[in-house]
Amino acid sequence: MLAIEIISYGKNSKLQVSNREKPVPNVNEVLIKVAAAGINRPDIMQRKGLYPPPEGASDIPGLEISGIVIELGSQVKSLNIGDKVCALVTGGGYAKYCLADENLCLPVPEGFSFIQAAAIPETFFTVWSNIFDRANLVAGETLLVHGGTSGIGTTAIQLAKCFGAEIIVTAGTDEKCQFCIQLGANTAINYKKEDFVKEISTFTEENGVDVILDMIGGNYFPRNIKCLSEEGRLVQIAIQNGAKSEINLLPIMLKRLIVTGSTLRARDLAFKARIAKQLLKNVWPLFESGKIKPVIHTTFPLVEVNQAHELMESSQHIGKIILTID
């Protein structure tokens, strides 16, 4: 099968088109003929040698796919050959065929294309798990999302809005800020022009925000602590500005803050399957009613994967970048 391999790691890392043997499903897996695959920041990190796949996972990048089930493992009961699905996978998505556990496959929402469906799993699993399960965001609370026009950001804005939260985002251009407001954010801060700590204090009348979803880390950490309200929750899901930061414990104690974080790829199947069930129950009706949909910036054919990665690293995109497989 056609597949994408990492041929070198580090600063000058590259991807190349290659041929691989078509994988064979284990008892609880299905083989999917891939129509589209989402690109995510962890794919960039893996290409650079900073995020190796978990033990037993494919070394082919790609964490979310859509396509048609063409083969079933011997104990698969919930899917049939010919089903149109999207799936969260631990690797292998940048290929013509990919394996997925049956419990991490979800039906392509009614009216959605394969391209739209491929933009769902990684971001919606991540946002649901961290905002609603881990941070327990509820209606009436205020959420701050850094990187509002990323795949994670555009997902978080829509979901939080549907479930009654007020949303503040940061973004790097006025155009991106305006897009976030049109998508549902209550206010957007251009972090290159404005001090988001000061702006959030003004917007919240010095009360702060209840939940922060942060992908930046590094020097954002002490600033995030300043932005949180009493009983506020900071959820760290990536560290684009680095893993280390100086911590002042006093405001954490005085405001009774919760600082937490997570990664998704290495979690066990049972954990991910629980998220899948929650999404099917709570989010799929929103897709099918037209209330929310993934934001797609552009698509690239699989053989242009290096150009697709270059675009993601430039941060010029708004929403998801998708690979299409003919």
List where CATH 3.40.50.720 sits in the chain: 124-261
In this model, does residue 6 exceed pLDDT 90?
yes
Which whole number is the average pLDDT over 15-40?
Answer: 97
Q: What is the pTM of this model?
A: 0.96
**How far is it, in rounded angstroms, from Cα 132 to Cα 115?**
26
| Residues 39-85 pLDDT 10s | 999 999 999 999 999 999 999 999 999 999 999 999 999 999 999 99
Q: Which pLDDT belongs to residue 10? A: 83
**Minimal CA–CA distance to 125: which of 321, 236, 267, 260?**
267
Percent of the chain with pLDDT over 90: 98
Which whole number is the average pLDDT over 104-121?
Answer: 98
| Residues 148-176 pLDDT 10s | 999 999 999 999 999 999 999 999 999 99
In contact, 181 and 188? CB cutoff 8 Å? yes
The CATH architecture of the domain made up of 124-261 is 3-Layer(aba) Sandwich (3.40)
Which whole number is the average pLDDT over 261-290?
Answer: 97
SS3 296: strand
Q: Which CATH superfamily is domain 2-120+265-324 in?
A: Medium-chain alcohol dehydrogenases, catalytic domain (3.90.180.10)
List where CATH 3.90.180.10 sits in the chain: 2-120+265-324
- For the record, the structure tokens of 33 come out as 């003929």
**How far is it, in rounded angstroms, from Cα 280 to Cα 288?**
11
SS3 218: coil
Percent of the chain with pLDDT over 70: 100
Q: Mean pLDDT, the chain, as a whole number?
A: 97
